[in-house]
Amino acid sequence: MPSRLLHVEHIFNGGWAPDYGAYAVAAIDKSGRCNIPWLIEAKNYQFEADGTPHKIGGTQKLFSVALESGAAIRGLFDFWKQGTAGCPSQKRVLHVGTKVKMDNGDGSFSDVFSGLMDDSIPNYSSFEGNIIIAQTGTDMPMWSDGVTHTTFSSPTPNFSFSETHKLRQWAAGVDAAPSHVFYSVYEDPTDWTGSGSGNIAVAPGDGDRITALASHRNELFVFKGPHKGSIHRISGSAPTGDDPFTLNEFIPSGLGAAGQRSVFRFGNDLGFVAPDGTVHSLNLTDRYSDFLETALSRPLNSWIRNAVNKEFLPWASTAANDSMGIVRLSAPVYASHTNNLVLMMDYRFDPPRWSTAPALSDYCYCLAQVSKSSFGSDPTTMAGGSDGFVRRLDWHTCAIDHAVTGTFDCSFLTPFLAYTPFSTLGVIYFGGVKISPKSAKNFTFYWARDGQDTQSSTGVQWTGDVLSVVPQASPFVLGSSELIGDRTVSKLFDLIEGGEFRQIQYGVANNGAGADIHVKSILASIKPGSFSAEPNE
């Protein structure tokens, strides 16, 4: 064994942060541990509560035949009616092609509205047993109680989105009145002209339009954009009386929301995607104003500004899963006119940890949080795809649509880490990972030294079997199989040609049918080498 050999365990201490650069100083403590401060790649990974990366789940189709010959699912909404018999009923509503369809929570969708524009941005809101359906463009908004389906007519304002607040329906996105918020009669979302209805002008003439509404902490927040950007608050309970509606500024300029679909609730906060693509929260905005350094997306703000197609950002779709602590954002990037990349924000960490889910991007044209049980338990995120299918995400197969051919890989890369002084070379002798085995599938360990080509070694997570409902996974046979369980194993590689370095980068990738993987840490055995003044090319 070489002398002065250091056995280092690298602990994950951050998520995907492309703005932080590709180099980090690596400080090894007395116990031999070293923090990985961020990742420069985190594809198809999410984070466990201890901060370790775990491959994301797969998808499962909600039905077997594509709707409308494979037209894109543009919107999706989960709607519940409590009723009076103690038996709540579920309705799921979606936009596909030129139609609005509805099911009874069973995946069998039927037409409720037709002849609509097929390139509009849908919006849904529920109010006392009714669902209010709106969309951008010339089509009038609609409402349904699950049985009767009606299109509003003039003089109802032709709004593009609405929000329930203080037992009224509030709406905006009216082309003829872009800076006005309209409100319905008290406890009647279908009456927009009777006594008690009205509208409020919000910073008219500022060159912006109202882009989003959100009821939050007893106030209605009004977002404007996309040019100047501003946020306003409407307080009060009625047009007149002891507690009248009052308009106040929250952020007078510099920050707004890209669209209604980009506003999301998470924890006790309200998040939103700004017109430049950066992601913010009301709590942080209230504390620090529009200071970009405090944005939820701080680790990738520059990447977002360069990658996101701002023109089509109003199509961006968000869904928060509080049971997992994850917000998913599907957005158009790299000149795409449609949402083509899913970003994931884990808000259980401070600051939040980010990753990407390119494996899901073709299937997440729109996102929605859906409850699968009449008892309200087991919430899940569902996605409408560009191919006419609705899918449940986080499926245990780690495969697309539960199919062997629908497998996808996952990979992460650390920044280049420098352990030794700049004038001293290091030498790596062993490398590997600590893994909580999830399958008897292969993984690849990568390392790259300075400007050299990436090197790799491949190993198997475990040769035993797992108890699993995944058909592609190794079966567990009583009396003969060795159960993996929840153990953690170290997989080391003797890097005979590991080589010298000033900076070294690590990565792990995995692929295959049903190939789950959960990496706990990265392992390396290194030794300080010789002095060198040569450039690390």
> Is pLDDT at 536 greater than 70 in this prediction?
no
Task: Answer whether residue 486 is part of any domain.
Answer: yes
pLDDT band at 534 (very low <50, low <70, confident <90, very high): low
Mean pLDDT within 14-36: 93
> Is pLDDT at 537 greater than 90 in this prediction?
no
**pLDDT of 381:** 94
Task: Answer whether residue 452 is part of any domain.
Answer: yes
* Predicted confidence (pLDDT) per residue in 216-258, tens digit: 999 999 999 999 999 999 999 999 999 999 999 999 999 999 9
> Is pLDDT at 156 greater than 80 in this prediction?
yes
Q: Look at the chain and report how many structural domains it folds into.
A: 1
Kindly report the pTM of this predicted structure. Answer: 0.91
Q: For residue 439, what are the domain limits? A: 6-57+410-531
How high does pLDDT run on average in the chain?
A: 89
Task: Answer whether residue 450 is part of any domain.
Answer: yes
Mean pLDDT within 273-296: 85
Q: pLDDT over 70 for what percent of the chain?
A: 90
| pLDDT-wise least confident of 137-151, 261-275, 285-299 | 285-299
Q: pLDDT over 90 for what percent of the chain?
A: 71
The tokens of 238 are what? 């009625």
> Is pLDDT at 5 greater than 90 in this prediction?
no
Mean pLDDT within 466-471: 48
**pLDDT of 473:** 46
Decide which of 28 and 160 is more confident: 160
> Is pLDDT at 135 greater than 80 in this prediction?
yes
Distance, CA of 316 to CA of 259 (rounded, Å): 8
- C-alpha Rg value of the chain to the nearest Å: 26
Mean pLDDT within 418-446: 85
> Is pLDDT at 472 greater than 80 in this prediction?
no
DSSP structural state of residue 58: E
Q: Assess contact for 230 and 177: CB atoms under 8 A.
A: no
pLDDT band at 486 (very low <50, low <70, confident <90, very high): low
- Which candidate, 385, 284, 369, places its Cα nearest to that of 327? 369
SS (H, E, C) 403-469: CHHHECCEEEECCEEECCCCCEEEEEEEEEEEECCCCCCEEEEEEEECCCCCEEEEEECCCCECCCC
**pLDDT of 425:** 85
Biggest CA pair distance of the chain:
87
pLDDT band at 484 (very low <50, low <70, confident <90, very high): low
Task: Answer whether residue 191 is part of any domain.
Answer: no
In the block, residue with structure tokens 């300075």: 450
**pLDDT of 405:** 80
Task: Answer whether residue 433 is part of any domain.
Answer: yes
* Predicted confidence (pLDDT) per residue in 327-340, tens digit: 999 999 999 999 99
Task: Answer whether residue 273 is part of any domain.
Answer: no
Distance, CA of 114 to CA of 149 (rounded, Å): 11
* Predicted confidence (pLDDT) per residue in 98-134, tens digit: 999 999 988 999 999 999 999 999 999 999 889 999 9
* Predicted confidence (pLDDT) per residue in 43-83, tens digit: 999 999 999 999 999 999 999 999 999 999 999 999 888 87
> Is pLDDT at 530 greater than 90 in this prediction?
no
* Predicted confidence (pLDDT) per residue in 308-323, tens digit: 999 999 999 999 998 8
> Is pLDDT at 89 greater than 80 in this prediction?
yes
Mean pLDDT within 191-214: 97
Task: Answer whether residue 83 is part of any domain.
Answer: no
- CATH (domain of 436): 2.60.120
> Is pLDDT at 482 greater than 80 in this prediction?
no
> Is pLDDT at 373 greater than 80 in this prediction?
no
pLDDT band at 345 (very low <50, low <70, confident <90, very high): very high
Say how many residues make up the chain. 537
**pLDDT of 385:** 95
* Predicted confidence (pLDDT) per residue in 28-46, tens digit: 998 999 999 999 999 999 9
pLDDT band at 406 (very low <50, low <70, confident <90, very high): confident
* Cis-peptide, bond into residue 155, ω within 30° of zero: yes
Task: Answer whether residue 147 is part of any domain.
Answer: no
**pLDDT of 500:** 87
Alpha helix (H) residue ranges in 56-167: none
* Cis-peptide, bond into residue 189, ω within 30° of zero: no
Per-position DSSP letters for 288-352, written without gaps between them: HTT-GGGSTTGGGHHHHHHHB-GGGGGG-EEEEETTTTEEEEEE-BTT-SS--EEEEEETTSSSP
